[in-house]
Amino acid sequence: DAKTTQPPSMDCAEGRAANLPCNHSTISGNEYVYWYRQIHSQGPQYIIHGLKNNETNEMASLIITEDRKSSTLILPHATLRDTAVYYCIVRPYNDYKLSFGAGTTVTVRA
């Protein structure tokens, strides 16, 4: 019962922007979009989250479409250290559950 759909893998050139898509066509009005990543042999790391407005922090930007059925995580200047599995998660605002799917394996190449 996957709530999100992500491509299994993508490559990105070092120094370029990485745009990671996520489809969540069944998202409800009270559900946020969260992004985490997991670098090899490390715990998942929170990146960013949003409800309907675009969000930006020191790590990334999150662009959510007006109908909220899809979103894009943007890593503005990818580095080799950004190589990781990126998870897009839809989660109600009052729910503790983080349901991690398969994510997108992003490989940043020099």
Partner 1 sequence: DAGVIQSPRHEVTEMGQEVTLRCKPISGHDYLFWYRQTMMRGLELLIYFNNNVPIDDSGMPEDRFSAKMPNASFSTLKIQPSEPRDSAVYFCASSLIRVADTQYFGPGTRLTVL
Q: Which of 80, 93, 107, 109 binds partner 1 (CB under 8 A)?
A: 93
Give yes or no for a contact between 72 and 83, defined as CB atoms under 8 angstroms apart: no
Nearer to partner 1, 8 or 43 (CB): 43
Q: Which is nearer to partner 1, 53 or 96 (CB)?
A: 96
Tell which one of 3, 21, 23, 44 touches partner 1 (CB under 8 A).
Answer: 44
- Long-range CB contacts for residues 59-63, cutoff 8 Å, separation at least 24: 60/35, 62/33, 62/35
Q: Among residues 8, 40, 81, 97, which is the contact residue for partner 1, using CB under 8 A?
A: 97
Within 8 A by CB and 6+ apart from 110, the residues are 14, 80
- Contact stretch for partner 1 (CB under 8 A) within 5-13, 40-48, 54-62, 67-75: 40-48
Query: Within its chain, how far is the Cα of 45 from the centroid?
Result: 11
| Nearest distance in Å: CB 39, partner 1 | 11
Q: How far is CA 47 from the centre of its chain?
A: 8
The strand pair at 104-109 and 9-13 is best described as parallel
Q: Does 94 bind partner 1 (CB under 8 A)?
A: yes
Binding residues for partner 1, rule: CB under 8 A, are 34, 41-46, 49, 91-98, 100-102
